[in-house]
């Protein structure tokens, strides 16, 4: 059997990681400013994380959700305390798409309605509801097409008001990323998130904060929506939650009450995934990673701002994007192949920086020097 070829690959085989560095099979060392697609929160192979998973595995790796799994409760409690959402309830699953799928489904159960608002340039995952709420027609299969989702312009309060005036009473949910990731690092404005909160309250709809990429401390607050001072009804999360171990979840406000059988999963919340997620929260807490994100994020932003060729630098914490013009569009590839630095991209010309939350200033300096070198090289070519 061969692999189903859906990923355009870089010709690189990573075999080892430590902190913000990874190594390939030829012994080359790379700086990881991409976090394996915003997944690596506490750094590669953090010793506390490795030990927690090993210890759990030597006891039990999996048993079904039909028995008590105390580590799920411990995780819920710890997540409540680290995120500040103490009275929320946690449902565990395995990925970001699943988290959003369950969030939208739950909103629909709760409200008895079927209309959902999503926004231009959104990305919510590839399962049926999540992909239907994703603003990219090329990944929506005919079977996923639905009239239940309406796309409104991102950060447009007037369009939102207009929509709610007409359809508010039929609307189950609004799903919004606090900072759009795949869409190119677009920060939701405070006014916009406040308007979503107000309108959801007024019309009885559910505010779903997709925090799969921008959550878990990456923005310098636990949830990026916290910057706007609003609370969502459901937060979806995944990526940074397990630092690479597959786990996702939704944090659900107390007014949304569960019923047996309403949601369910075989693997979600298994012992091993919970051990990984507990270890991540331990490290976020013990190493004050959210403070560290604010400090290093500001440093990174300031350093980038001194490079005039980088345009429209934006983001929060360690979720940063900037545009490059056509002259410098080789920058990302050259950073990878010449300087051995992974970064992310968004089409057509955005570079995304999504490093581990504990990246150090000296590691950021490696990135900045490489960008400066490469820009000078590209300037000379033109």
Ligand X SMILES: Cc1ncc(COP(=O)(O)O)c(C=O)c1O
Binding footprint of ligand X on the chain (CB under 6 A): 95-97, 100, 123-125, 177, 181-182, 210, 212-213, 238
Nearer to ligand X, 83 or 95 (CB): 95
Give 36 or 43: the residue with its C-beta nearer to ligand X: 36
Contacts of 18 (CB under 8 A, 6+ apart): 43, 44, 45
Q: Cα 184–188–194 angle (5° rounding)?
A: 165
* Cβ-based neighbour number of residue 308 at 10 Å: 7
**How many Cα atoms sit within 13 Å of 156 on the Cβ side?**
15
Instruction: Specify the residue, 22 or 212, whose C-beta has the smaller distance to ligand X.
Output: 212
| Contact present, 248 and 236 (Cβ < 8 Å) | yes
The nearer residue to ligand X, 224 or 334, going by C-beta atoms, is 224
CA-CA distance, 236 to 85, in Å (whole number)? Answer: 13
C-beta closer to ligand X: residue 177 or 309: 177
Helix (H) or strand (E) run with residue 301 in it: helix 289-305
Q: Which residue minimizes CB distance to ligand X?
A: 96
C-alpha–C-alpha distance, residues 83 and 136, integer Å: 31
How far from chain centre, in Å, is Cα 314?
16
Q: Tell me the closest approach of the beta carbon of residue 234 to ligand X, in angstroms.
A: 13
Cβ neighbours of 192 (radius 10 Å): 18
202 burial level (CB within 10 Å; 0-12, 13-18, 19+): exposed
When the beta carbons of 92 and 375 are compared against ligand X, the nearer one is: 92
Q: Residue 95 or residue 294: which is nearer to ligand X going by CB?
A: 95
Integer Rg of the chain from CA:
21
CB of 336 to ligand X, least distance (A): 19
- Nearest-angstrom CA–CA distance, 321 and 125: 20
Rounded Cα distance between 83 and 375, Å, is 39
| Nearer to ligand X (CB atom), residue 8 or residue 70 | 8
d(C-alpha 17, C-alpha 287), whole Å = 19
- CB 216 to ligand X: min, Å: 12
Sort strands 319-323 and 234-237 into parallel, antiparallel or unpaired.
Answer: unpaired
| Least distance in angstroms from the C-beta of 60 to ligand X | 25
Burial of 286 (0-12, 13-18, 19+ CB in 10 A): exposed
Choice between 134 and 292, CB closer to ligand X = 134
Token pair, residue 234, equals: 């459901």
- Which CB sits closer to ligand X, 180 or 334? 180
Collapsed DSSP state (helix, strand, coil) of residue 16: strand
Q: How far is CA 35 from CA 25, 92, 106, 257, in A?
A: 19, 23, 30, 35
* Tokens read off for 151: 């796309």
Start-to-end C-alpha separation, the chain = 46
């Amino acid at each position: 059997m061969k692999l189903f070829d859906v990923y355009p690959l870089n010709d690189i085989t990573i075999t080892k990681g430590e902190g913000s560095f990874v190594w390939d099979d030829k012994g080359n060392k790379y700086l990881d400013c991409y976090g394996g697609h915003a997944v690596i929160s506490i750094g590669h192979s953090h010793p506390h994380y490795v030990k927690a998973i090993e210890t759990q595995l030597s006891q039990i790796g999996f048993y079904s959700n039909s028995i008590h799994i105390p580590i799920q409760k411990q995780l819920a409690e710890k997540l409540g305390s680290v995120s500040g959402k103490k009275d929320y309830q946690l449902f565990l699953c395995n990925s970001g798409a699943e988290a959003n799928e369950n969030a939208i489904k739950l909103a629909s159960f709760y409200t008895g309605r079927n209309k959902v608002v999503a926004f231009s340039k959104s990305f919510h995952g590839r399962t049926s509801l999540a992909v239907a709420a994703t603003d990219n027609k090329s990944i929506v299969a005919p079977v996923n097409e639905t009239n239940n989702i309406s796309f409104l312009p991102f950060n447009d309060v007037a369009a939102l008001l207009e929509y709610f005036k007409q359809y508010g009473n039929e609307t189950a949910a609004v799903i919004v990323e606090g900072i759009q990731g795949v869409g190119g690092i677009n920060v939701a404005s405070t006014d916009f998130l406040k308007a979503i909160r107000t309108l959801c309250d007024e019309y009885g709809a559910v505010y779903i904060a997709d925090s799969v990429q921008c959550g878990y401390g990456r923005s310098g607050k636990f949830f990026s929506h916290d910057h706007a001072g609003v609370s969502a009804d459901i937060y979806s999360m995944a990526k940074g939650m397990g630092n690479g171990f597959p786990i996702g979840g939704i944090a659900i406000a107390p007014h949304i009450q569960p019923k047996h059988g309403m949601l369910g999963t075989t693997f979600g919340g298994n012992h091993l995934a919970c051990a990984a997620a507990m270890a991540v929260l331990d490290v976020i807490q013990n190493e004050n990673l959210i403070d560290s994100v604010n400090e290093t994020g500001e440093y990174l932003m300031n350093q980038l701002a001194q490079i005039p060729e980088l345009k429209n630098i934006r983001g929060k914490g360690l979720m940063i994007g900037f545009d490059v013009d056509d002259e410098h569009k080789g920058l990302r590839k050259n950073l990878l192949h010449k300087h051995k630095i992974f970064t992310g991209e968004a089409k057509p010309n955005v570079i995304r920086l999504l490093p581990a939350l504990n990246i150090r200033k000296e590691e950021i300096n490696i990135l900045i020097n490489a960008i400066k070198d490469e820009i000078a090289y590209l300037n000379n070519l033109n």
